């Protein structure tokens, strides 16, 4: 059971009430200053090795966020041709986008010719690309055989992941590249989200070893997955430490091999997770008897934030009174349930994926009070069950 009361991150109770009155609920609220803070935590790190930051735009493709990333010289990682065009509409140059998708869409030739780099993620894709665009420089995604992540559903490498070309198939990959006169100048790997820095460094070593077989590589894309502390009990990865360690590894490799490479990283969650909160309302309070639970029914849910239902993810939840009596409230244990007609639409579950109920200590709530769910900037608005039970997209606003 979560016993520590979480705190509002960038709003105060008066702002919550005012925003709810002005816009209604539920509503996404994004802080410009929080975005600036997380961007600078990466872009301010100085390294000898050139390190390019690409924003994994699937985390949150809001046009205003994409424009902010562009203004800070952050490039983009797209997961579909639709995301490529969305990024261009937001002002991103095509040549600053890497398309890294499970399937090659029919328009991949058009996308490549406009300047966008395409990471080929299977032997079949290399064959398709080679037939259409022989003699090109290409990027490939390799599954290094090592995985990590805070949940098995966010592990994106190893034997259980469909992402990338299995590392033992590199000889076949090179044969196909030779067949179509393709020059492999970039390699991509990604092992999972919420990854332990030590595991990430192991993959860095694996990637450098792979370069013994890939002699034309100019850029190594290490992926992302950097841990962000949403809950007060968690710790955020120190990007200064991670990038400094990575720089030392690459510089050592350069001295030993005489080769120089640049590095790319693909943070998504790290850049935007804590920039956004959802403001909702307590619409009902019910219980299941002395041996059961007390439920807060709120007017948001998996239609706005799917992560708890998918991964058992935990988010800070704060009760804000509909008046100004926040400091006078006692604490009470609640299970917070969403508005969708699904037993899995619950915000207070165990983080082990078993989806067991885990009552949360909150300020005692009354019907009509506001509920603020923090850490909703990544994989919430962009990855939700919009339209389920007929619920429309939820409004998003920005605060300075």
Measured between alpha carbons, how far is 148 from 192 in angstroms, rounded to an integer?
5
CA-CA distance, 310 to 277, in Å (whole number)?
Answer: 19
Q: How many residues are present in the chain?
A: 400
Residue 359 CA to residue 350 CA, distance in Å, equals: 9
Q: Provide the CB-side half-sphere exposure for 330 (13 A, CA).
A: 2
Measuring CA to CA, which residue among 190, 59, 153 is closest to residue 352?
153
Determine the 3-state secondary structure of 37 from DSSP: helix
Tell me if residue 151 falls in helix, strand or coil: coil
| Domains recognised in the chain with CATH numbers | 13-29+274-399 (2.40.37.10), 32-272 (3.20.20.10)
Q: Is the pTM for the entire model greater than 0.85?
A: yes
In this prediction, residue 1 carries a pLDDT of 45
pLDDT reported for residue 196: 66
Q: CA–CA distance from 31 to each of 291, 377, 397 (Å)?
A: 41, 10, 9
Q: Which helix (H) or strand (E) holds 266?
A: none
Q: What angle do CA 43, 305, 274 make, to 5 degrees?
A: 25
Residue 329's pLDDT is 82
Q: Which residues in the chain come in under a pLDDT of 50?
A: 1-2, 147-157, 194
Distance CA 350, CA 327 (A): 28
Q: How many CB atoms lie within 10 A of CB 152?
A: 13
Q: What angle do CA 155, 159, 165 make, to 5 degrees?
A: 90
Can you give the pLDDT at residue 4? Answer: 75
Please answer whether residues 320 and 371 qualify as being in contact, where contact means their C-beta atoms are separated by less than 8 angstroms.
Answer: yes
């Amino acid at each position: 059971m979560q016993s520590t009361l979480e705190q509002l991150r960038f709003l105060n109770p008066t702002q919550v009430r005012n925003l709810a009155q002005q816009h209604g609920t539920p509503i996404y609220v994004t802080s410009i200053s929080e975005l600036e803070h997380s961007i600078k935590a990466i872009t301010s790190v100085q390294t000898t090795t050139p390190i390019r930051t690409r924003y994994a735009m699937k985390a949150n493709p809001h046009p205003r966020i994409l424009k902010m990333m562009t203004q800070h010289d952050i490039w983009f990682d797209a997961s579909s041709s639709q995301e490529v065009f969305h990024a261009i509409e937001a002002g991103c140059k095509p040549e600053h986008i890497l398309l890294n998708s499970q399937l090659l869409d029919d328009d991949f030739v058009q996308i490549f010719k406009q300047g966008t780099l395409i990471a080929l993620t299977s032997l079949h894709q290399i064959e398709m690309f080679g037939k259409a665009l022989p003699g090109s420089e290409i990027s490939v995604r390799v599954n290094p055989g090592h995985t990590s992540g805070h949940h098995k559903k966010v592990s994106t490498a190893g034997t259980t992941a469909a992402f990338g070309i299995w590392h033992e198939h590199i000889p076949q990959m090179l044969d196909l590249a030779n067949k179509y006169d393709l020059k492999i100048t970039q390699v991509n790997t990604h092992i999972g989200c919420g990854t332990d820095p030590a595991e990430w460094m192991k993959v860095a070593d694996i990637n450098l070893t792979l370069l013994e077989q890939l002699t034309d590589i100019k850029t190594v894309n290490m992926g992302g997955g950097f841990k962000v502390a949403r809950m007060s009990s968690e710790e955020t990865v120190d990007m200064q430490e991670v990038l400094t360690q990575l720089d030392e590894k690459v510089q050592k490799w350069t001295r030993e091999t005489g080769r120089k490479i640049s590095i790319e990283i693909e943070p998504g969650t790290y850049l935007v997770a804590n920039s956004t909160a959802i403001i909702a309302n307590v619409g009902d309070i019910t219980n299941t008897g002395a041996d059961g639970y007390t439920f807060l029914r709120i007017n948001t849910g998996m239609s706005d934030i799917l992560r708890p239902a998918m991964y058992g993810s935990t988010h800070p939840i704060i009760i804000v009174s509909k008046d100004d009596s926040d400091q006078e409230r006692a604490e009470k244990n609640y299970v917070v349930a969403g508005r969708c007609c699904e037993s899995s639409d619950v915000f207070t579950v165990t983080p082990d994926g078993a989806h067991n109920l885990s009552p949360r200590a909150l300020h005692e709530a009354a019907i009509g009070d506001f509920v603020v769910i923090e850490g909703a900037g990544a994989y919430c608005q962009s990855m939700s069950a919009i339209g389920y039970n007929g619920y429309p997209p939820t409004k998003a606003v920005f605060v300075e």
